[in-house]
Structure 1
Amino acid sequence: MIIKQFNSDNQTQKGVIHFILITMGSFIISVSCNPQTNEKENEQDSYVERAIDVNYDLIHPVKRISLHYDLEEISGLSYYKKDVLACVNDEKGRLYLFDVSKEKIIKDIKFGKGGDYEGVEIIGEMAYIIRSDGRIFHFNLNKTEQEDFEAKVLKTPLSAKNDVEGLGYDTQSNGLLIACKEDAEVAKNNINGKAIYAYDLDKSTFLKKPFLKTSHKKVEKFLEDQGVSGGKVEKFKPSGIALHPRSGLIYLIASVGKALIVLDKEGAIKEYVKLDSKLFRQPEGICFAPNGDMYISSEGRAGRGYILKFKFLRK
């Protein structure tokens, strides 16, 4: 019927088209203005926009570096020297020195048997690699060519139930910082939430009192105080830790929940950012260059692992 009118009456045709366009426009405006329609998307944006507040644009990395297939399961990351990062694979007892400018492995060091290695820290020429059960393997990078090369092990009271996933370094105390993904309790110290422990390198001693503590409730309270909508967030489970070379603040990254949390050394939350899951596929490693540039690594998930570089935005 309408088709006949279009053929016989041009004015009627224009009127009907005009009516349809107005109706469609009203519908589109109504949908886009409906807060329930975009509630989840807006909640994600409210977190992502906070990325600028940590002095990094976490939405736009300056570089994406694809890794060799040996690092498909990259789990730990540390700065070694200009353009060279140290990486570990969570299945192999090997340390890889990776040149980010040439995008290739320049050295591959076997230091132990296969195992769940989760964090690495380079201090001078000393390499420290932590396994998920809390054992810390260490050796001098300059001596790895010797026939009698053997990584030594620092024992801690941590175990597989703690599921250690992050290793950092505090220059001020000369201590390794150890992040537990799961159970934070050590020697029945009744810790609620998550804990960061320290290993004093000067005294070769594990400190049973946590270096700092945080909790899921603290995160929710922080977001509520900051006026961020939808303060309910997935429980934070650290997968990487690093100290900022300029501010001294502690950066914790989590693959579970895709988030970055920044704390001071008293454990006070300074910032929380929800990461874009498309950009950060499975973030497990984090480190900083001396100038403040930040690197975050992600596992490949049946593909090539990769590292994202973020420029330090000085304020």
Structure 2
Amino acid sequence: MRKVLLLTSLLISLSLVGCELKKKGKEKQDKKNSTGILANFDLNKPEKFNMPESLQEISGIAFNDEKSDTIYAINDEEGKVFRLGWNVPKQLHAKFGKQGDYEDVTIANGHVIVLKSNGSLFTFPFSDAIYDEVDQVREIRALLPKGEYEGMFADQFNNQLYVLCKKCDADYSWNTTSGYVIELGDSLYVSSPFQIDVAGIKEYKGKVKEGFRPSGLAKNPLSNEWFIISASNKLLIVTDSKWKIKEAFPLTGNLFNQPEGIAFDKIGNLYISNEGDDLTLGNILKFERKPK
């Protein structure tokens, strides 16, 4: 009986120590979140917008810089650009192409640009996005090296398009994530490649399994920092304008089912879209920027 009591006491003590360590770890993470770059956003308390069935597999999202009242979105199966008012479940769409694996959408210089997973780009006038069918669609192939692509962002202030590799030959060692800058104009061309050093992520998160594999990126209009998400690693990283990693944050699976798209509105609120599954609806999460 005495041995049983001693064993029980030991198990209780170990359990209490474990709880205390877990509590301290959470307090440490909460403190980091409250004092770092993402102190401007409470990543645990979003406003959720559940998607209609047509956007259950939502991937990329974007705003037109002139307005923030309409969200433009893409899913990874249909050649359609969807548009929705915030928290208005009815969607409208413009069909621009055949079925395919479309990953991201962006708007710049009066044009909508859609990224396909193989690196092909589709572009058409923004003024045509109000029609059911788009006639003036331009497809641009073989502009980027062969690989798998998911993240794209157009900066119309410098007239450039940024595209990130999810899985490319240049990143065979998983130590880097490659990206490309495309100059926008009558003739699109790649002006310069760049790389993100995955070792910089490990300083914050530890091991990054099989590379970073980003699924979306957006530039914060107020700070010019890059916010990049990875659905594979359930991770959000922040870099400076030169792609040097400043912070990295794990995204909890119960809130971020499959984070595929990311965007900012013109006043700096953060939006992250999540693909749904058999148990979870696709959604967009809005994180209001806190005043200083």
TM-score, normalised to structure 2, is: 0.84
> Residue 67 of structure 1 aligns to which amino acid in structure 2?
M
Give unpaired runs (5+ residues) of structure 1.
1-19, 224-229
Pairing 1:84–2:70 present: yes
Partner of 1:70: 54
Secondary structure of the 2:247 match is strand
How far, CA to CA, are the matches of 2:198 and 2:224 in structure 1?
A: 23
After superposition, the CA RMSD in angstroms is 3.2
Please say if residues 48 and 274 of structure 1, whose CA atoms lie closer than 8 Å, have aligned partners that are also in contact: no
> Which of 150, 170, 182 is the aligned partner of 1:199?
182
Distance change in 2, residues 1:51/1:233 (3 Å): farther
Partner of 2:270: 294
What's the CA shift for 1:232? Answer: 2.7
What's the CA shift for 1:121? Answer: 0.3
What's the CA shift for 1:47? Answer: 5.1
Partner of 2:289: 312
Please say if residues 85 and 100 of structure 1, whose CA atoms lie closer than 8 Å, have aligned partners that are also in contact: yes
Distance change in 2, residues 1:282/1:129 (3 Å): same
Distance change in 2, residues 1:283/1:275 (3 Å): same
How far, CA to CA, are the matches of 1:47 and 1:165 in structure 2?
A: 29
Partner of 2:217: 241
Distance change in 2, residues 1:38/1:257 (3 Å): farther
Distance change in 2, residues 1:157/1:143 (3 Å): closer
Pairing 1:173–2:149 present: no
What's the CA shift for 1:137? Answer: 0.6
How far, CA to CA, are the matches of 1:184 and 1:260 in structure 2?
A: 23
> Which of 117, 125, 143 is the aligned partner of 1:157?
143
What's the CA shift for 1:203? Answer: 6.2
Secondary structure of the 2:63 match is strand
What's the CA shift for 1:26? Answer: 7.8
Please say if residues 182 and 188 of structure 2, whose CA atoms lie closer than 8 Å, have aligned partners that are also in contact: yes
> Residue 97 of structure 1 aligns to which amino acid in structure 2?
R
What's the CA shift for 1:131? Answer: 0.4
> Which of 195, 201, 211 is the aligned partner of 1:219?
201
Secondary structure of the 2:54 match is helix
Give unpaired runs (5+ residues) of structure 2.
none
Partner of 2:98: 113
Please say if residues 67 and 104 of structure 1, whose CA atoms lie closer than 8 Å, have aligned partners that are also in contact: no
> Which of 261, 264, 271 is the aligned partner of 2:247?
271
Distance change in 2, residues 1:203/1:310 (3 Å): same
Distance change in 2, residues 1:307/1:173 (3 Å): same
User: Identity across aligned pairs (percent)?
Assistant: 31
Secondary structure of the 1:70 match is helix
How far, CA to CA, are the matches of 1:298 and 1:47 in structure 2?
A: 23
Distance change in 2, residues 1:258/1:146 (3 Å): closer
